Amino acid sequence: MKLAPGSLRNRRSAALAAVLAVGLTLAACDTGPSQVGAAVIIGDKRISVDDVQKRIDTVLNSPQSMQQLKQQGVGVPDASRYIIADVVEHELLAQTAPREGLTVTDAAIDEAIEQGGGPVESARQLFTDQAHVREVVRDQLLLRALGDKYFGKVGLSYDSVVVQTPGQAKDLARKIAADPGHSQDLMAAVPGAKPNLGKITNTPGANGDAQTQLQDAANAITWYAPANSVLMLPPDPNSQQGGGYTVVYVRSITPIEAGDSLDTSQINMSKVGEYLLRPLAVQLGVRVSPRYGVWDPSSMRVVPAAQAAAAGELLPAATTAKS
């Protein structure tokens, strides 16, 4: 969809500005619902273990779902974590979709379920039960709509560096969060690293070839976080190139008035939508019962407790940052 001049363009900028504003205050709050008996808490919304466990049990009692888990090399705890992440996304979208003017029709949900092979097969593929399959499909469609709305429309001013160990990455991220004015000095001091300092993602379509523009737009979303915050990202498990742990200091985020010339056919817009929910997740706060694992704000996923030391982080930076 191309932007029309005038009021529509202004509304797009205003809407993005509203998204960027969410989560600018990252300070955690010590008060709120009790974790006792809760599977997950999102802000003031408490989801009980009983409610989540019913969904998990339904999936695990399905021979088809268990077969899929086996084929994918995924264990029962992994399925539980997928379901917890779905619950978190649902609550975040319940606030985001109305604010962004995003809706999904029943006909669109019906079509998606039919394309997925029907309710039973769609539920199996999505690791959910039939009672919640329409809800999960609706959320996936909303995530895609959110991604479509903002992919290529976000610009970042940032410093970044790749380090080799999670301990090194977390230590660096915390030092930068405490002293963001020296972000570049701290990154430049990493032995053997090649930091990208004082970078600004280009306006898609302005410079470079099509692939460069697409990568630029993808980086702006992959590293999407509130301004003046530090994001630590573990290596992409799906990448064939391996890689280390990326530490990004996000100085500022600005809306970009770009056209729709980018070829996004290979972009996972649902994942783009998930990343755009990061600031709200941080603003509200997400707490997961230790029985399921820990919440990773970088991947917007629940990871096993045993992997907590290598999980991503999203930290507020001190307010003394220099532009």
Beta bridge partners of 255: 154
Give strand ranges (E) for the chain.
Answer: 38-42, 45-48, 154-163, 196-200, 229-233, 245-255, 286-288, 294-296, 301-303, 313-316
Angle of CA points 76, 268, 90, to nearest 5°: 55
pLDDT at residue 280 greater than cutoff 50: yes
Q: pLDDT > 90: what percent of the chain?
A: 51
71 — pLDDT class (breaks 50, 70, 90): confident
Domain ranges of the chain: 35-151+267-318, 154-261
pLDDT at residue 177 greater than cutoff 90: yes
Range scoring the smallest mean pLDDT among 21-25, 50-54, 99-103: 21-25
Residue ranges of alpha helices (H) inside 162-203 are 166-178, 183-188
Q: What is the pLDDT of residue 322?
A: 47
Q: How far apart are CA 59 and CA 66, in angstroms?
A: 8
110's tokens: 């019906």
H or E, element range at 212: helix 210-222
- Write phi, then psi, for 302 (nearest 5 degrees): -95, 130
Report pLDDT digits (tens) over 56-70: 888 778 777 777 777
Between residues 1 and 296, the one the model is more confident about: 296
Q: What is the pLDDT of residue 247?
A: 96
Between residues 71 and 194, the one the model is more confident about: 194
pLDDT at residue 192 greater than cutoff 90: no
Range scoring the smallest mean pLDDT among 12-16, 44-48, 307-311: 12-16
Q: How far apart are CA 12 and CA 95, in angstroms?
A: 18
Angle of CA points 35, 39, 43, to nearest 5°: 60
Q: In the CATH scheme, what architecture does the domain 154-261 have?
A: Roll (3.10)
Report pLDDT digits (tens) over 198-227: 887 755 445 566 777 787 788 888 889 999
- Separation of CA 311 from chain center: 14
Between residues 111 and 206, the one the model is more confident about: 111
Report pLDDT digits (tens) over 128-153: 888 889 999 999 999 999 999 998 88
pLDDT at residue 242 greater than cutoff 90: no
Q: Are 220 and 156 in contact (CB under 8 A)?
A: yes
**Mean pLDDT, residues 223-234:** 93
Q: What is the pLDDT of residue 241?
A: 54
- Topology (CATH level 3) of domain 35-151+267-318: Triger factor/SurA peptide-binding fold (1.10.4030)
Q: What is the pLDDT of residue 213?
A: 76
Report pLDDT digits (tens) over 20-38: 444 433 334 445 566 778 9
124 — pLDDT class (breaks 50, 70, 90): confident
Which of 147, 102, 154, 145 has the alpha carbon at shortest distance from 258?
154
pLDDT at residue 304 greater than cutoff 90: yes
Is-same-fold flag (35-151+267-318; 154-261)?
no
H or E, element range at 23: none
Chain mean pLDDT for the chain? 82
H or E, element range at 226: none
